[in-house]
Amino acid sequence: MKLLITSPAFSNPHMQSLIQYAREQADEVVLNPYGRTMTVDELKTVWDGVNGVIAGLEPYSAQVLEEAPASLKTICRFGVGYDSVDLAAAKARGIAVTNTPGTNSDAVADLAIGMMIAIARHIPQGDKSVRDGSWKRYTGLSMEGKKLGILGLGAIGKGVAKRAAGFSMDVYAYDPYFDEAFAAAHGVKKATLDEIFTQCDYITLHLPVLPETQGIINKETLGKMKPTAYLINAARGPLVKEDDLYEALKNNQIMGAALDVYSQEPLKDSPLFQLDNIVLTPHIGGNTREASYAMGKLAIDNALQILKGENCRFIVNP
């Protein structure tokens, strides 16, 4: 059994015991030598004879999968999202694709709340004003009593709802499969998309990328939001049409935004860089030591189960 670990998270010191774990289970383990997301050309230089990949964010399009070695039987995403993998093409090649749901939910929920505080209290700008000597004391907004709209009440959305209760926020949520029992237990009010867009002071995205959710934040929905509203996206970049968001922020159509994910990563030469009413972070939602370790362990276990012919309950292209 030969495993290829491409996720750059495994280059961190706290992940070394997981590499040893993989080596104890597999005949050979090949590591990403770059400490960053690999390009397709780089991937092709190390995947010969590989049976399973513990995958980062490198793309596995139909064309890439067509060129993959015949030995490849599974791609195990280090993370919850799997939109970087063409699931149908993988299934056609007999390649099982897995993810690691639930392992980073708390970490992403923490970041979503942190981003709300950062953008509402101008924390990045305040830090800069101290460093450059201008000592500008920004006037922010409190979170207490504000309406929080959560789009997607899955594990992460639920984590945000529980944390928001500590700030005495009035929490609303939209989800096609709304969890009535959780909502009742935690004081979450069921809402339509329009109700969230038109009434909420903070809107945080925790949806998967599907045909019906891609670009859900666009000129039309931004136009429905309150001019005092803040948008948070720590879910998936394609949920937001960034050009439309730029125009809304530039024209003060909404108060501000905070993004951890983007339509193309890494984000380069974006007009968003020109704005001071947005906080930008480099896709760090699940990037805590605890979450990284849990994701890594589950991704390796997924690969081992599949390659040993055992049942794996996290296959996303059955």
Question: What residues are annotated to the active site?
Answer: 236, 265, 283
For residue 289, give the 3-state DSSP assignment: helix
Per DSSP, helices labelled H in the chain are 16-25, 40-44, 62-67, 87-92, 105-120, 123-131, 155-165, 180-186, 193-199, 219-224, 242-250, 289-307
Q: Which of 205, 201, 211, 215 is nearest to 285 (CA)?
A: 205
For 5, the enclosing helix (H) or strand (E) is strand 2-5
Output the CA–CA distances (angstroms, integers) from residue 65 to 41, 90, 119, in the order listed: 13, 7, 41
Would you call 28 helix, strand, or coil by DSSP? Answer: strand
Integer angstrom CA distances of residue 85 from 53, 127, 215, 251? 12, 39, 19, 36
285: Cβ contacts below 8 Å, ≥ 6 apart? 104, 107, 108, 111, 112, 234, 260, 261
| Upper half-sphere CA count for residue 308 (Cβ side, 13 Å) | 12
Nearest by Cα to 3 from 18, 23, 33, 21:
23
* CB neighbour class for 90 (10 Å; exposed up to 12, middle 13-18, buried from 19): buried
Show the tokens assigned to 199. 């009434």
Place of tokens 């004391």: 137
